[in-house]
Amino acid sequence: MNGALFSFRRFWAVVVKEFMQLRRDRMTFAMIVAIPLVQTMLFGYAINNDPKHLPTAVVCSDGSPLARSLEASLINSGYFDVAGRMSEAEAARAFKEGRILFSVSIPSDFGRRVLRGERPEVLVEADGTDPTAASGALAALAGIAARAQARDFQGPLAHLAPRPAPYSFAVHRRYNPEGLTRYNIVPGLMGLILTLMTVMMTALAVTRERERGTMENLLASPLTPLEIMAGKILPYVAIGHIQMGIVLAAALFLFRIPFAGDPLVFYASSAVFMAANLTVGVTVSSIARNQLQALQMTIFYFLPNLMLSGFMFPFAGMPDWAQAIGCVLPLTHFNRIVRGVLLKGSGWPELWPELWPIALFAGIVLVLAVASFRRTLD
Amino acid sequence: MDACAHVIDVHGLTKRFGRRTVVDGVSLAVRRGEIYGFLGPNGSGKTTSIRLMCGLLTPDSGRGTCLGFDIMKESAEIKRRVGYMTQKFSFWEDLTVRENLDFTARVFGLPRRRQAVEEAIEGLGLQTRAGQLAGSLSGGWKQRLALAACMLHKPELLLLDEPTAGVDPAARRDFWEELHRLAAKGISVLVSTHYMDEAERCHKLAYIAYGKLLASGTAREIVEGQGLATMAVQGSGLQELHARLLRDARVEQAVMFGSSLHASARDAKALGEAVRGALSSGQTCTPAQTGLEDVFIFMMNASRDSFGVRP
């Protein structure tokens, strides 16, 4: 065969065609801009892992000043919004109906027993169906009892005041001193949006040709499979970069996420990450018979990325086998790279261990993509 | 050299998809400047055969050349020199006429691309619609665009897969006149079709059913090859006569053609007796020339019986 396996001219013909079609497809064009922008804004502002002002019921038949000051200190912590006093039965119903997340039961002789030094128990019930929502508030309880009632135990009651521990913990949250959720969410969204968009758009772009019967035209022409594939991918690499730019701009200027590291490291890593996703997109498009199947397969790939990459849930908390799956996914490593570059100011030496798994993934899937694309010819 | 006389010369082409043999030992020779008609019922393997010949599919067995290039090894060369028009409109409906032609010109690497595209648009008479999306064209115009696009790189051989399906009669006639003009210039055409009038416009024909080539040659050769005699019956109440003739073993085939009924069989004498014996009052019968359509229906039924395929 003396025909070149790759001709830039033919490849460029496909790229130009792809852009022309994109320009006509207003909806897709709008989505390219709207999805990263809207999602970053929406999730960046909406998601908070340390929720406060949680609806709480106080079940109390004790009128003592100590009970009242306990209630006040619950409110003052900022975590609990006391909806009012309720009977036990009312509180149980409110739990079921989802009106409250906490109930605090203060026993009827609370004040008296405290004064007697009996250390009465205050029962705090939490709605455990959403552990994340309750965890912050429950962690704050210890401090509430110790600190907020210090005022009550003065003078003759001083012996009731808790003794301070012989040492104390000084906690310092590195890279995110205020513990802001958006420092985690917004950089994480970058990889998530890129994964969804690049995989889906390449998968659809190729299956669309098959579904409409135009693929036969491409295959019957002098175009080689490599030219078709590369020509269809390049436009989405460009779009991926635009989308990344949008999310990055939103992160820096709207959410005031610091950019501590080297932009070059960031750019190079995201190019490798995009390449990995595009190979997945091409593989999907070779296997899927139509656009609907392509979409379903994209979601099938996207969900583990969402759940196991350490974006939604802490990576360290997953069992070993799940971590192993997570380690295969490019998004897991890309999330660490983005956090590393943006928040920690990491450079090549720190990020290389995260970059090569993405490159390896891209290489292996590329072989798979080319092999499955070839098979569709016959 | 053989390849000079024959633009397509293939022997024993076989293609299987899974356990199904779609094309079974097809041999075909098309001469330069010939319009070669490719006929057969739906799903008979016409499209697959055409794809095998232009290098889009690799045959499981068989050998042959297309424009002198080996269909097994030199499909890239073949693709560059052949114009292939797919059965379904396979240009981009969200691109304009000009953009579609321009893309094709780029892919084939035409020198003076813009000029070639403008000439094609003029040749089509599409100057006023060049900026229109291909998807908004009517069936006839789509087909003309597809033909113009696959002629853009001036191929020596056209492979046309049911090019006139869903096109109105006037556009079909124009299309065939264009094909004959091209053939006169020395371009060879292999065209698959379902229409008998189109089949009769071809220089040569091949009939394929269930993946097997059943007959090939000129229309006359094919008709004579089957040795069928035909009687045409006119009159009223032909439906009952049709049913009666189908039960008669001496009549091998009875087909309604609008206002007349064609009965055919290889034994002319027995056929004549059978038909005359079955006539009712008001019906007249005359010996008729066996047509291509009679022969094709006969071959299709015969092949169905011999391959044990249920109708």
- Span B193-209, average pLDDT: 90
Domain ranges of chain A: 8-47+181-375, 54-160
Query: Angle A348-375/A330-339 helices, nearest 10 degrees?
Result: 150
Ranked by mean pLDDT, the top range of A42-51, A221-230, B184-193 is B184-193
Q: Which residue has the higher pLDDT, B147 or A373?
A: B147
SS3 label, residue B133: strand
For residue range A264-293, list pLDDT tens digits in order.
Answer: 889 899 999 998 999 899 889 888 888 999
Q: Is the minimum CB–CB distance between B72 and chain A shorter than 8 Å?
A: no
DSSP β-bridge partners for residue A103: A57, A125
pLDDT of residue B237: 83
Which range among A6-10, A226-230, B96-100, B158-162 shows the weakest confidence by mean pLDDT? A226-230
Q: Give the amino acid at B203.
A: H
**Is the pLDDT score of A295 beyond 90?**
yes
Q: Is residue A23 predicted with pLDDT exceeding 50?
A: yes
Contacts of A378 in chain B (CB under 8 A): 57-58
Domains and CATH numbers, chain B: 2-217 (3.40.50.300), 223-306 (3.30.70.100)
Q: Which residues contact B204 (CB under 8 A, 6 or more apart)?
A: B30, B34, B35, B36, B37, B216, B217, B218
Contact state of B106 with A10 under an 8 Å Cβ cutoff: yes
Residue A133 has pLDDT above 80, yes or no: no
| Cα–Cα distances in angstroms (integers) from residue A3 to residues B74, B75, B88, B114, in the given order | 9, 10, 28, 24
- In order of A97, A135, A173, the CA distances from A170 in angstroms are 40, 20, 10
Q: Once rounded to an integer, what is the mean pLDDT over residues A107-111? A: 86
Judge whether residue A135 has pLDDT over 90. Answer: no
Judged against a pLDDT cut of 60, whether residue A148 lies above it is answered with no
pLDDT at position B310 is 47
**In chain B, what residues touch A24 (CB-CB under 8 Å)?**
94-95, 133
Q: How far is B145 from chain A (nearest CA, A)?
A: 13
For residue A184, the model assigns a pLDDT of 84
pLDDT at A4: 66
Look at phi and psi of residue B270 and say left if phi exceeds 0, alpha if psi is from -120 to 50, else beta: alpha
Query: Between β-strands B229-235 and B188-193, what pairing exists: parallel, antiparallel or unpaired?
Result: unpaired
Q: How confident is the model at residue A2 (pLDDT cuts 50, 70, 90)?
A: very low
Structural contact between residues B207 and B216, judged by C-beta atoms closer than 8 angstroms: yes
* pLDDT, position B10: 93
Q: Give pLDDT, residue A377.
A: 53
Q: Do B76 and A216 touch (CB under 8 A)?
A: no
**Number of cross-chain residue pairs from A and B with Cβ atoms under 8 Å apart:** 74
Closest of A146, A152, A17 to residue B104, by C-alpha = A17
The model's pLDDT over B10-46, given as tens digits with 9 standing for 90+, comes to 999 999 988 889 999 999 999 999 999 999 888 888 9
Q: Do A222 and B107 touch (CB under 8 A)?
A: yes
Number of other residues whose CB lies within 10 A of the CB of residue A349: 7
pLDDT at B5 over 80: no
For residue A69, name the pLDDT band (cuts at 50, 70, 90): confident
pLDDT at A131: 79
Closest-CA residue of chain A to B133: A24
One-letter amino acid of B72: M
CA A332 to CA B294: how far, in whole Å?
Answer: 69
Looking at residue B306, its pLDDT comes to 63
pLDDT interval class at A375 (50, 70, 90): low
B211 pLDDT more than 70: yes
pLDDT digits (tens, 9 = 90+) for B232-275: 998 888 888 888 888 888 888 898 888 889 999 988 888 888 88
- Report the gap between the CA of A101 and the closest CA in chain B (Å): 54
Residue A213 and residue B95: Cβ atoms within 8 Å? no
Q: Considering Cα of B238, then B239, then B243, then B244, what sign does the dihedral take?
A: negative
Supply the pLDDT for residue B125.
83
Please say whether the beta carbons of A336 and A315 come within 8 A: no
Q: Is A3's pLDDT higher than 70?
A: no
What is the percent of chain A where pLDDT is above 90? 23
Run of H or E residues at B135: none
- Look at phi and psi of residue B98 and say left if phi exceeds 0, alpha if psi is from -120 to 50, else beta: alpha
| Interface with chain B: mutation pick from A2, A6, A7, A17, highest number of B CBs within 10 Å | A17
The CATH code belonging to domain A54-160 is: 3.40.1710.10
**Contact check, Cβ <8 Å, A17/B92:** yes
- Mean pLDDT, chain B, integer: 88
Confidence of residue B165 (pLDDT cuts 50, 70, 90): confident
Residue B263 CA to residue B271 CA, distance in Å, equals 8
Q: Does B111 touch chain A (CB under 8 A)?
A: no
Asked if the Cβ–Cβ distance from B56 to A12 is below 8 Å, we say: no
ipTM: 0.84
Rounded to an integer, the average pLDDT of A62-72 is 84
pLDDT at A126 over 80: yes
Encoding tokens for residue A12? Answer: 């460029």
State the pLDDT confidence band at B4, using cuts at 50, 70 and 90: low
The span from the CA of A180 to the CA of A178, in Å, is 5
Question: CB-based contact (8 Å) between B114 and chain A?
Answer: no
Cα B235 to Cα B279: distance, rounded to the nearest angstrom? 10
Q: With bands split at pLDDT 50, 70 and 90, how would you rate the model's confidence at B82?
A: very high
Say yes or no to pLDDT of B3 above 50: no
CA closest to A223 among chain B residues: B107
B208 in Cβ contact with B39 (< 8 Å): yes
Within 8 A of B66 by CB-CB distance, chain A residues are: none
pLDDT band at A139 (very low <50, low <70, confident <90, very high): confident
**pLDDT higher than threshold 80 for residue A153:** no
What residue type is assigned to position B166 of the chain? G
Picking from A150-154, A293-297, B250-254, B301-305, which range would have the lowest pLDDT averaged per residue?
Answer: A150-154
